[in-house]
Amino acid sequence: MNESRSAATAPAESDPVPLLLELVGTPSVSGDEETAARALVRWFKSAGFTAYVDDAGNAVGETGGADGPVIMLLGHIDTVPGILPVVREGDVLHGRGTVDAKGPLAAMAWAAARAANAGTAARIVVVGAVEEERESKGARHLIDRYAPDALVIGEPSGADGVVLGYKGILRLRYEVERPAAHTSSPEEKATEVATGFWSGLRDKLALFHPDAPFFEQALPALVGMSGDIERAVLDISCRVPPGFDTDGLLDWLTERARGGRITVVERTDAVRSSRTDPVARALTAAIRGRGHRPVAKVKLGSSDMNVVAPHWGCPVAAYGPGDASLDHTDHEHIDLRDYRLAIDVLTDALGLLTDTLGRVPVGAGEKAGASQ
C-alpha cells in the first residue's frame, strides 16, 4: 500500500452534483464496475487524495492526516441490473444507483474532501466497493487489509436517518428425489416432500418472537421452486435477527430433510450497533446540528456492514441520502437537496468523530502486509 498522501486540495468543481451525475451515468452492474471505479479514482486524485483501484476492483481514496485515527467510509459502486434513463428534473435526479448506493458514496467522497481541506487529523479512507449486490467481494477483500478505528457504511438512510442494524440472511437450496410413481399411487411424490419441508420451516420460524417487530423476527421466503414427481428443488431465503441460532436451525432442518440434500448458499449473521455507538452519536449530533430531527433505524435487508463489522469490531453505523424503498426499482431517484444535506452532515460528523476518537499511532488502521 502506498503510504504517501497528496496534500488536500479543493475538487475541481464546487458543486457536488457533477460527481454523482458521472457515477450514475456510468453503468456498473455487479461484476462490471471497472469504468465507474476508475472514474471515481480520477475524482479522488483531482481532490488531492491518494487513490487507486485495488486488486478486488474497489475504488480507494485516502486523505486527511497521516497519524490520526483511521475512519473508513465504505460504500459500494455496483448496482443491480437494469438501465434507467439518467434525467435531472430540478432538484431530483433519476437513474440506477442514485439511491443504492452511488448517492451515499458520492456524499462520502465529498465529505472526506471537505474534512481534509479543513485540516482534519483523521486519516479518512473512502472505498467504493464492488459486488455488494452479489456476495460483497469488495468488502471481503478489505477485511484483512484494514482495521479502522471507526466505520461509516454508505447506504440510503435518508439525510436525517442513522441505520444501526441490518438483519442477517440464510439462503438454502433443498433438493429431494423419489422413485417414479403413477399419480394415483399412495407413494409420496418429490413435490409433496418438498412442500412439506417448506411448510415445516415456515411454521418453525413463525414461533420465533412472533409478536416482536419485524427486525426481531425470523422471516422465510420461498424464492424459487421447480420439480415433479421424481425430483423437486426449493430455493429459500431467511432473514434472521441478531442472536438467531442459525446452527440450531440447520441441525433441525437436517433431521427433517427426509433424504433430501440441504445446501447453504449464503450465510451472513445480523449486525446491530447501539444508539451510544460513537459513530451513531456523531451522525445524530451532526443531523441535529443542521436543524433536523435524527431518526434511528434498523433494516430488514443486509449490507456490507454485516460482512466487515464483526471482523473489525469498531464503532459503526450506516448513513446516506436517499429513500431506501426505491432500491432496485424502476422509480429510483434522489432529491439533490438531501444529497447536499448528507454531505454537510457527514462532514460535521467526521469532525465530531475525530475529536471523540483522539489520536492513535501511525498505521493503526492498516494491517501489516496490506497491498493493493
Q: What is the pLDDT of residue 2?
A: 37
287: in domain: yes
368: in domain: no
Q: What is the count of structural domains for the chain?
A: 2
Alpha helices in the chain (DSSP H): 17-24, 34-46, 102-117, 137-142, 190-206, 246-255, 278-289, 304-312, 336-357
332: in domain: yes
CA–CA separation, 116 vs 119, rounded Å? 5
Residues 63 and 99 in one domain: yes
CA–CA separation, 278 vs 293, rounded Å? 18
The reply to whether 132 belongs to the active site is yes
Q: What is the pLDDT of residue 10?
A: 58
186: in domain: yes
Q: What is the pLDDT of residue 14?
A: 86
Residues 137 and 249 in one domain: no
Q: How far apart are the first and last CA of the chain?
A: 6
Residues 307 and 158 in one domain: yes
Residues 160 and 194 in one domain: no
Residues 32 and 120 in one domain: yes
CB-side neighbour CA atoms (13 Å) of 98: 29
194: in domain: yes
Residues 95 and 206 in one domain: no
Residues 46 and 156 in one domain: yes
Q: What is the CATH number of the domain that holds 186?
A: 3.30.70.360
* Domain end point (choices 206, 241, 268): 268
* Domain end point (choices 268, 295, 326): 268
64: in domain: yes
Residues 285 and 309 in one domain: yes
* Domain end point (choices 268, 295, 330): 268
Residues 263 and 275 in one domain: no
222: in domain: yes
Residues 29 and 160 in one domain: yes
φ/ψ region of 243 (left if φ > 0, alpha if ψ in -120 to 50, else beta) reads left
Coil, helix or strand at residue 278 = helix
DSSP-assigned letters across all residues of 304-340: HHHHHHHHH---EEEE-SS-GGGTTSTT-EEEHHHHH
The reply to whether 89 belongs to the active site is no
Residues 155 and 193 in one domain: no
Among 62, 100, 132, 133, the one annotated catalytic: 132
Q: What is the pLDDT of residue 208?
A: 86
Full residue range of the structural domain in which residue 210 is found: 168-268
369: in domain: no
Cβ-contact 279, 353 below 8 angstroms: yes
Residues 299 and 318 in one domain: yes
Residues of the chain with pLDDT under 70: 1-13, 359-372
Q: What is the pLDDT of residue 359?
A: 45
Among 78, 100, 269, 338, the one annotated catalytic: 78
Q: What is the CATH number of the domain that holds 309?
A: 3.40.630.10
